[in-house]
Structure 1
Amino acid sequence: MQPFNFKYYSNMTITNPLLLQNPIEKIDQIVPSYVEPAISQILSENLTEIEQIVKQPDLNWQNFMLALEKLENKLSKAWSPVSHLNSVCNSNELREAYDKALGLLTDYSTKLGQHKGLYKATKGLYDSRSELQLTDVQAHILKDSLLGYKLSGIDLEPEAQKEYAEIQNRLAQLTSKFEQNLMDATMSWKKLLDKPEALSGLPETELSMLAASAEAQGKKGYLITLEIPSYIAIMTYADDRELREEVYSAYVTRASETGPDNGKFDNSEVMVELLALKKAKAKLLGFKNYAELSLESKMAESPEKVVAFLEQLNSAAHSQAVRELEELKAFTKKLGLDELKSWDVAYYSEKLKQQNYQISQSEIRPYFLVDKVIQGLFELTEHHFNVSFRQTEQVAVWHQDVKHFQLLRNDQVIAEFYLDLYARPHKRGGAWMNDYQGRFKIDDTLTQIPIAYLTCNFAAPSKNKPALLTHDEVVTLFHEFGHGIHHMLTQVDELSASGIANVPWDAVELPSQFMENFCYQPDVINRLSQHYETGEPLPKDKLDKLIAAKNFQSAMMMARQIEFSLFDMKIHLSEPLSSGQIQQVIDDIRQQVAVMQPPEFNRFQHSFSHIFAGGYSAGYYSYKWAEVLSADAFSLFEEEGVMNKAAGEKFLKNILEKGGSAEPMDLFVAFRGREPSIEPLLRHSGIQS
């Protein structure tokens, strides 16, 4: 599979797609040279129109907020394909264009956030919400907009506002640099093996994947990379301990001062500067630290409450995590391993899991044919949320493997999404959902439908075998699809609060983690599974073992997530840190919560893009908090039946359709009839409270 061929399209003479009404329709014709002039033109036009909007007399929702949303809609639809292509079809030319445009967008965002006329008009509308007969949703949007102005420095003196703008611009540059370094470091390491004997222990499916990877790059043999499917295959199944150590060492030192790249793509100073700038930004805005600033727009009340929540989880899980590790160590000693190392954990855990449950991810992979999993996912969604799906062919895509679907209700298209499932060079690792456009009632005759991108990094099909998923990958697909239906099934008409827009960061994971729960229900698994050769569903004995093994080492996994969450919160509570001090923070937290201490050379933080290049800075705890919400939400389905349509409709009406139109706690209480409890999460995880 080849990356997007920008050079081919650069020879074409077409209108700049980014200036069209729907740039996504020409996404295969967007080239780097189009990006900066198009974004610059739109920003200039927007600023001119904004000045006219704020000068109008008798402002109301239609002539002010609706007008602003139309400008934002045009801009976001132009930028979204560029940002997406930068993640899935990266190139040096696109990077350069992306970074230039990102600087323009950052300046623009800062100008709007500090625009006195916009702030005054927004406050005027909010204060007059009763007289103007604004809806509760519109009032909620205005209230959150006012908070946004506060966090953008609207009250700062001119010199401080200038400093704020400089900080914002530099933060944008650094977050992009962090992700670029990580992508380059991931792509730079490869290992080609000639014979399958060197990969003893790998199941046939994993061997085929590595052979296909080599073939895709014009080589013979088996190509190991640091892309997730390849990394997991080696760490889980390779009998060769030295090979596991080599791959582990390369993976955990990516984008650091050590490892096989010898610091070529080092994120050390990027992290240091990011943290220092975030601290400076928080101080400018009157906060003690960046953690306080981050939580100002989230559900959690304070950093102290977040730390207390994480420590509560750690208290509940730690002793069980210790027992799980001791069980693993005892097992490995029987097999002759004197000392368990980090590159041994996945390998021997898989063998222990086999011993205890006689089930492995590789063993059940042949039953999770990707097309069948998608079909089952669609059927579940249709059953609970009253929609249907239709695949379309005649649409522009950025890679031959990308598929496009429409969601319909009563034969009307209500949303669309693109599905990009497979790992490949020049594509960012991980899995995510992002939006091209949100639901938006533009006028009485026209409502724009939501369109989403759903992206994963699974092993691609080979010549002799279709794409097959592990059960863990099935869970990942359901997770991202949960984000997708949150975005696509909204019934909010205002762009600023439809779908995932305006949803606090520590609530946005609720629908995604909620959907994961279905992956362990027998009725659902039977809909998802079909052996790619025999057509048989997952046999009952394997199904029972899969469900029984659900909570295998769950406390160890929880301890790991608590480690990441505490690290994130602590570094954003601290004074500016050096690279060595950042390392010391994670080392100290590991001593507190981790049950398996990694080697000294581990540089996990250098690839922690969620907090250094994504939106989870001082917010990674959101995953565990959302697990509390999602486990409690799913407990209604456990009480009333996994396929209970009334429960599905209740989740649709109170959570999915509401988007960011109200406080998430109010939405949860409306759905569940009470505030959330931690007990369902501990029960689902097999942890005794």
Structure 2
Amino acid sequence: MTVEPLAMPTDSAAWPGFVTERSDTALAAAREVVERLKDGTERTPIEVLDLWNEGETAVANVAGFASFFAEVHPDASVRDLAEKKAQEAIAFVTERGQDRELYEVFAALDRDELDADAGRVLDHVLRDFRRSGVDKDDATRDRLAAISERMTLVGQDFSRNIRDDVRSVRLRPEQLDGLPDDYREAHQPDDDGLVTITTDYPDTVPFLTFATDREARHAVSRQFNSRAWPDNDPLLHELFELRAEQAQLLGYDSWPAFDAEVKMIGSGPAIGEFIDRIADLADEAGRADVATLLARAQKDDPSITEITSGDTAYYTELVRREQHDVDAQHVRRYFDFTKVRAGLLDVTGRLFGIHYRERKHTAKWSDDVSCYDVYRDETRIGRIYLDLHPREGKYKHAAQFDLVTGVSDTQLPEGSLVCNFPRGLMEHSQVVTLFHEFGHLIHHVLGGDQRWVAFSGVATEWDFVEAPSQMLEEWAWDADILRSFAVDESGEPIPADLVARMRTAEDVGRAQRVRTQMYYAAVSYVLHLDRPTDHDEAVRALGDRYSLIRPLDDTHFQTSFGHLEGYSSGYYTYMWSLVIAKDLFSAFDPSDMFDTEVAGRYRDEVLARGGSADAADLVAAFLGRPYSFEAFGRWLSGE
């Protein structure tokens, strides 16, 4: 049978009706499934699960769809509408998870009558009922429902505040000294003679990397690291308290304990142990990294006594330029956005045995967005959207969003990459980010041919989801691969020796960056575990313990740390996944990055299986052994 992708409105005025109709129809179908499951009809275990799968598909068609447009649609009224539809979906899932009559239908099933995949579905359904409080008394279930509803609203407010709070700094033109010519050309003085630098990524990242004026860098960094302050501070307090209460009502010691139960790491205390383990591994080298930056800073100004968050990018860039002959401004002339995007599609197509066909006339939510159908041989297996430039009201970070969750013979997987890149020349770090985020998108598509929607796409444990994306970053560092699309204005490819120096220069500050990641992980973990009354004080203390880089005074990093909403206490995930990513990449031959046997096996054993098995088993199937820290340790030591 032919499965068609989602058709979006061609008329901007039709968007409210489109969002409402798709959301309401799907939610009505999900409610109908619940009623049918409880109607007393005698069904076999597999018939019950097939019917449940219909309902889960309907829920996915509201949740992902609505959450996505709440973050990206250009019309604020459509974003608000999508938020409400996402709230309705979450409220339904909470209500369904506490339905004892429905729970009894599944509790009565004989697991021995199911195959391994269906049995895994049943195990997950029963687990999720328990984690929803189905076995609690009426008063507790009512309170859990109220908590869920409030957490949804608070989380949406938190994310919206970050998205909408675009700050700016007004600077004299000479304070842009050091910035690339195209950046300065795009930032002309206004009538009062001053230049506006915003906290959007295409403004802030180059400024902090290249601006020679330390005072100006610090001014921009302060604004960037105080977005959504003070509005998000009370929201964080409320969110942490709500999560803690939910966990305690369900019988857990803390929110991290509740959250970690369904992840690879397994327990709350193990998060803290992992953070300390990685921080200790990176400590000595990290301090040496900071000493190198400080020594370089003191050449400019002997009175500088410490490296701050407003200095790190600038002095890292200077050390790379002076010690390794890598000038990021020179490097960026090889990375024209349009060529990078085309190269990304060529590289991933060749690697995974797929190809893309652009759909130029397909209706989209913004003219900035490009659309491609994904094919394996002549079979369309999904659709992707690339929404890669900033605009007002749009999600401010970089992420992949599900638009449609794939179900075999029912609906194609569709997803969107949402980033905030410049339209002209890119930093190589932005190229790496693009490859990383595209890794999530390709995982969503390749893993989207599943019978059970619960296992479709990026449906593995949450502390594994970054590993495939982190591994794909390696293809943005290979000289031969880069030379296939990284060319300057004259068409000259990036020199291989420059790429080699870039790789060596990337070692500058590696251990310090690992320590910074552990600082972020500690913030997400400790704020949830301890729920301090003063977030600023707690975050400063965690910085002293883990970061090695002092945050600037009068900043409030946590209020703009969007991962506190989505990842909650689990930001350790990025480093946990990196341990596995380095091990996954060890199976590839760096001299043959497109080895069809290895790449095909990785595609089929890891990506295409979605969440149909535990992540550790997927990795072991590909590597032929359990994952280990060995490859990560070699990388951390610079080998």
Question: Could you state the TM-score of these two structures normalised by the residue count of structure 2?
Answer: 0.93
Distance 1:220 1:422, change over 3 A: farther
Find out whether 1:245 has 2:218 as its counterpart.
yes
> Which letter does structure 2 place at the counterpart of 1:453?
S
After superposition, what is the alpha-carbon deviation per residue over 1:475-509, rounded to whole angstroms, capped at 9, x for unaligned?
111111111111111242221211113x1110111
Distance 1:35 1:420, change over 3 A: closer
Distance 1:600 1:330 in 2: 22
> Which letter does structure 2 place at the counterpart of 1:267?
N
> After superposition, where does 1:185-334 map in structure 2 within 5 Å?
185=165, 187=166, 189-191=167-169, 196-210=173-187, 222-257=195-230, 266-334=231-299
What's the counterpart of residue 391 of structure 1? 358
Find out whether 1:123 has 2:107 as its counterpart.
yes
> Which letter does structure 1 place at the counterpart of 2:420?
N
What's the counterpart of residue 594 of structure 2? 643
Distance 1:56 1:374, change over 3 A: farther
Deviates more, 1:110-119 or 1:341-350: 341-350
> After superposition, where does 1:550-565 map in structure 2 within 5 Å?
550-565=506-521
Match of 1:348, SS state, is helix
Find out whether 1:577 has 2:529 as its counterpart.
no
> Which letter does structure 1 place at the counterpart of 2:540?
D
Deviation at 1:307, TM superposition (A): 1.7
Deviation at 1:120, TM superposition (A): 2.0
What's the counterpart of residue 463 of structure 1? none
After superposition, what is the alpha-carbon deviation per residue over 1:114-148, rounded to whole angstroms, capped at 9, x for unaligned?
112332222333xx2332xx332222122112111
> Which letter does structure 1 place at the counterpart of 2:335?
F
Distance 1:256 1:42, change over 3 A: same
Deviation at 1:472, TM superposition (A): 0.5
Contact 2:282-2:636 at 8 Å conserved across structures: no
Find out whether 1:541 has 2:497 as its counterpart.
yes
What's the counterpart of residue 114 of structure 1? 98
Identity rate of aligned residues, in percent?
A: 28
Contact 1:209-1:459 at 8 Å conserved across structures: no
Match of 1:671 among 609, 622, 634: 622
Distance 1:222 1:535, change over 3 A: farther
What's the counterpart of residue 551 of structure 2? 598
Match of 2:388, SS state, is strand
Distance 1:406 1:42 in 2: 24
What's the counterpart of residue 137 of structure 1? 117
Deviation at 1:528, TM superposition (A): 3.1
After superposition, what is the alpha-carbon deviation per residue over 1:336-382, rounded to whole angstroms, capped at 9, x for unaligned?
24114432222222112110111132221111122322333223223
Distance 1:219 1:486, change over 3 A: farther
Match of 1:567 among 523, 526, 530: 523
Distance 1:48 1:495 in 2: 18
After superposition, what is the alpha-carbon deviation per residue over 1:101-122, rounded to whole angstroms, capped at 9, x for unaligned?
3432232111111112332222
Distance 2:28 2:219 in 1: 51
Match of 1:627 among 578, 582, 587: 578
After superposition, what is the alpha-carbon deviation per residue over 1:216-257, rounded to whole angstroms, capped at 9, x for unaligned?
xx9998541100120112111122222212211111121123
Distance 1:599 1:550, change over 3 A: closer
What's the counterpart of residue 59 of structure 1? 43
Contact 1:282-1:288 at 8 Å conserved across structures: yes
Distance 2:274 2:225 in 1: 28
Deviation at 1:303, TM superposition (A): 2.0
User: What's the C-alpha RMSD, in Å, of the aligned pairs?
Assistant: 2.5
What's the counterpart of residue 355 of structure 1? 322
Find out whether 1:453 has 2:441 as its counterpart.
no
Contact 1:137-1:661 at 8 Å conserved across structures: yes
Aligned residues: 633
Match of 1:434, SS state, is strand
> Which letter does structure 1 place at the counterpart of 2:91?
D
Match of 2:512, SS state, is helix
Distance 1:95 1:450 in 2: 22
Distance 1:102 1:145 in 2: 21
Distance 1:527 1:380 in 2: 9
Match of 1:130, SS state, is helix
> Which letter does structure 2 place at the counterpart of 1:530?
V
Match of 2:373 among 402, 406, 413: 406
What's the counterpart of residue 454 of structure 2? 496
Distance 2:207 2:611 in 1: 42
Deviation at 1:681, TM superposition (A): 1.7
Match of 2:111, SS state, is coil
Contact 2:66-2:86 at 8 Å conserved across structures: no
Match of 1:436, SS state, is strand
> After superposition, where does 1:369-448 map in structure 2 within 5 Å?
369-441=336-408, 446-448=409-411
Deviates more, 1:153-162 or 1:366-375: 366-375
> Which letter does structure 2 place at the counterpart of 1:130?
D
Unaligned runs of 5+ in 1: 1-19, 258-265, 461-466
Match of 1:636, SS state, is coil
Match of 1:157 among 129, 132, 137: 137
Deviation at 1:468, TM superposition (A): 2.2
Deviates more, 1:294-303 or 1:52-61: 52-61
Distance 1:500 1:61 in 2: 26
After superposition, what is the alpha-carbon deviation per residue over 1:587-619, rounded to whole angstroms, capped at 9, x for unaligned?
2222222212213322111111111x22x1121
What's the counterpart of residue 482 of structure 1? 439
What's the counterpart of residue 680 of structure 1? 631
Contact 2:74-2:365 at 8 Å conserved across structures: no
Unaligned runs of 5+ in 2: none
After superposition, what is the alpha-carbon deviation per residue over 1:505-564, rounded to whole angstroms, capped at 9, x for unaligned?
101111111101222222222223111x11111013322211211221001110000011
